[in-house]
Amino acid sequence: MFYWFLKWIALGPWLRLVFRPRVYGAENVPLEGPAILASNHLSYADWLFMPLTLPRRVTFVAKAEYFTGKGLKGWLQRTFFAGSGQVPIDRSGGGAAEGAIISAKRVLAEGELFGIYPEGTRSHDGRLYRGKVGVARLALEAKVPVVPVAVLGTDVVAPPGKKFGRFTRPVVRFGAPLDFSRYDGMESDRYILRSITDEIMYEIMRLSGQEYVDMYGARAKEESRKSEKDAAAQQEPGEPDEPKLAS
């Protein structure tokens, strides 16, 4: 109930009025029945604007800690995350990755839409990074179609690491549903899972126009931070970088 209150009364109308998000291909999202919405991930605002463009509820998974807080703060946090369409990761089957699969399958079994970011982390530079195979495994085990999604402009509205952004109209593009039923029973084959994941990421790349990098986003962030740290260590305090001559 609170989800619909936020979407249609308290929060959604204001976001639509102020940002006027543009949506393309919404007809590719099933009007009923389960499906996975696999999207790129540029900003924390992605999970606000993508569901905003659809009449149906879209559920994501979130850390279980967001739902177990104590006191008033814990109640407010739990109410907000649950009301914004997120469910806790079920860790009864093992670690976070396995718990996310369990929670996602539960949502899909109820005939709902489930949103997922195959990259596993926000892009730090606007490029699209290699997808993790959990999305492929989920599609095969739950036997549901995958709708590729591209969300653009959210990194301008809410840039990572900054308190304030700039105004722009976010764009949400939904691609044609991908059917992987031809791989039924092969959810344990890692080569099949990688092939399916790469196909999904290709469709996201095609929709978003992002440059694709065949590296996991988390590793790319680590290498970027290391490069920045090394550059800072080589820089003498108070001395500017010397200009480089063109070769």
Taking residue 79's Cβ as centre, other Cβ atoms within 10 Å add up to: 12
Query: Helix, strand, or coil here: 147?
Result: strand
Q: What pLDDT score was predicted for residue 238? A: 59
How many whole angstroms from its chain centre is CA 126? 13
* pLDDT value of residue 2: 80
Q: Residue 98's pLDDT is what?
A: 85
> Could you give the dihedral angle defined by the CA atoms of residues 170, 54, 137 and 181, in that order, rounded to the nearest 10 degrees?
-120
The pLDDT averaged over each successive group of 10 residues in the chain (247 residues) is 86 94 98 98 93 95 74 76 72 71 94 96 96 97 99 94 89 99 97 98 99 96 86 69 54
pLDDT per position as a tens digit, 125-152 = 999 999 999 999 999 999 999 999 999 9
Residue 247: the pLDDT is: 43
In order of 6, 9, 29, 59, 93, the CA distances from 82 in angstroms are 11, 16, 23, 9, 22
pLDDT at 234: 79
The pair of three-digit structure tokens given for residue 11, joined into one six-digit string? 């929060």
| Burial (CB count within 10 angstroms: exposed 0-12, middle 13-18, buried 19+), residue 194 | middle
At 113, is the secondary structure helix, strand, or coil?
strand
- The answer to whether residues 10 and 172 touch, using CB atoms and an 8 Å cutoff, is no
Q: Which domains does the chain have, with CATH numbers?
A: 2-234 (3.40.1130.10)
Q: What is the DSSP letter of 112?
A: -
Give the pTM.
Answer: 0.87
Answer whether 97's CB lies under 8 Å from 150's CB: no
Alpha-carbon distance 59 to 49, whole Å?
A: 13
Q: Partners of 129 in the beta sheet?
A: 213
Helix axes 134-142, 96-109, angle to 10 degrees: 30
In this prediction, residue 114 carries a pLDDT of 97
